Amino acid sequence: MVEAKDFKYPDRELYNWVLNELEKRNINRRTIGEIAYKMQHQYLPDLTVDDFGKELDEVLKKREVINILATGFALDNLADKGLLPEPLQSIIKADAGVYGFDESAALSLSQLYGSIAVTNYGYVDKTKIGVAASLDNSHGHVNTFADDLALALASAVIGRCGHGSNLDLHEDEHLIADPTPTEEEFINKVASEVNPSKLGDELEEAFNHDYYIAVSIQWPNIMRIDFANNAFEHEYGREISLNDLYKFIKNEHDNSMNWFIDDSWLASYIGYYMWKNKMYRDPDDVEEAINHITGGSIAFNGLFETYFASNSSNRKED
């Protein structure tokens, strides 16, 4: 079935529902931070339980994470009430060892945060520590998915902390960047290969989730970006010429870096382009944050952490 064009993904409703399910299971910054700390303290001795725990907020902003959590919790809830069809009801209620889909869901979440998260989840899956152990042994309630998902969240937090620094390539003269694409190659790649849904997610993260963002290609060389508030009401839209965007990126781009290095690469430059051209309507005043930039120099790494430091790290409230 093709997704209805007028369907708006219920991000806010799903996000709030998942937060409520997490609270019911005592899965929070503290309990996830404790698991992550126990797993990684010897490798990251400078980080506290609170340091690990605060990364949970960022993990929960990812739509793929919320989707996995919602599905797992919903299946646990239905099995707890005996509402699943047999024999699936008995399998999930018994947390049958050969079922494996609960681990697959948790592994899918971990994979979003790289090999560090995956290996940590695999290591701790059988030992069950912290809140995961409490969920695994909570007699009378079904937590077949919840215990694994708690460990996956802790592993994702570890992945974020473990990958906290970027590669230092400035001194390495042996690394050769891919050649700069032509204007036509850039436009064709953006128009035909860039996934609008993923780009929308990356732009939402770049702008600290001030808006819900939809991206579309209006013409081969025109990208439209629409901004909606957390009630999914359309606030405003902007059209960007891919020809102009190419020239902007070419002028700003560090030649030692490859083009299209990851999903967030294009979103970062689009956000920077919109800010420079006064196209972004920031709900908060970011001038104070911008003034902290010294000497007028702008580093690509951590661009939005600098520009939008004054914004809340959580989704905006109604």
Q: Mean pLDDT lowest for which of 48-52, 182-186, 253-257, 289-293?
A: 289-293
Is residue 279 pLDDT above 80, yes or no?
A: yes
User: What single-letter DSSP state applies at residue 137?
Assistant: T
SS3 of the chain: helix, strand, coil, percent, to 5: 50, 5, 40
Handedness of CA 56, 60, 66, 68 (dihedral sign): negative
The one-letter amino acid code at 308 reads F
The predicted model gives 227-254 an average pLDDT of 89
Is residue 287 pLDDT above 60, yes or no?
A: no
Give the angle subtended at the CA of 132 by the CAs of 15 and 71, to the nearest 5°. Answer: 35
Is residue 75 pLDDT above 90, yes or no?
A: yes
Percent pLDDT > 70 in the chain is 80
- Is 64 or 177 the better-scoring residue by pLDDT? 64
pLDDT of residue 178: 61
pLDDT of residue 197: 79
299 falls in which pLDDT band (50, 70, 90)? very low
Report d(CA 191, CA 223) in Å as an integer: 8
Is residue 305 pLDDT above 50, yes or no?
A: no
User: What single-letter DSSP state applies at residue 219?
Assistant: E
pLDDT of residue 4: 61
Which tokens belong to 183? 């204007």
Report d(CA 230, CA 283) in Å as an integer: 12
Q: Exposure string (b/e) for 40-72, b if CB count within 10 Å is 16 or more?
A: beeebeebebeebbebbeebbbbbebbebbeeb
Is residue 295 pLDDT above 60, yes or no?
A: no
Report d(CA 318, CA 315) in Å as an integer: 9
Beta strands in the chain (DSSP E): 212-219, 222-228, 234-241
Q: Mean pLDDT lowest for which of 35-49, 126-140, 165-179?
A: 165-179
Report d(CA 212, CA 201) in Å as an integer: 8
Highest mean pLDDT among 111-115, 141-145, 178-182: 141-145
Report d(CA 311, CA 283) in Å as an integer: 9
Report d(CA 179, CA 182) in Å as an integer: 9
Angle separating helix axes 114-124 and 29-40, nearest 10 degrees: 90
Which residues does 209 contact at the CB level (< 8 Å), separation at least 6? 61, 314, 315, 316
Please give the model's pTM, rounded to 2 decimal places.
Answer: 0.55
Is residue 173 pLDDT above 70, yes or no?
A: no
pLDDT of residue 5: 64
256 falls in which pLDDT band (50, 70, 90)? low
Report d(CA 225, CA 292) in Å as an integer: 28
pLDDT of residue 314: 37
Is residue 157 pLDDT above 70, yes or no?
A: yes
In contact, 149 and 106? CB cutoff 8 Å? yes
pLDDT of residue 312: 41
Is residue 308 pLDDT above 60, yes or no?
A: no
Which tokens belong to 88? 């699936």
The predicted model gives 289-303 an average pLDDT of 41
| 212-219 sheet: strands from edge to edge | 212-219, 222-228, 234-241
Return the CATH fold of 12-162: YutG-like (1.10.3760)
123 falls in which pLDDT band (50, 70, 90)? confident
Average pLDDT value for the chain: 82
Give the angle subtended at the CA of 15 by the CAs of 90 and 208, to the nearest 5°. Answer: 145
Domain boundaries defined on the chain = 12-162, 183-307
Report d(CA 189, CA 169) in Å as an integer: 26
The predicted model gives 15-25 an average pLDDT of 95
- Is 283 or 258 the better-scoring residue by pLDDT? 258
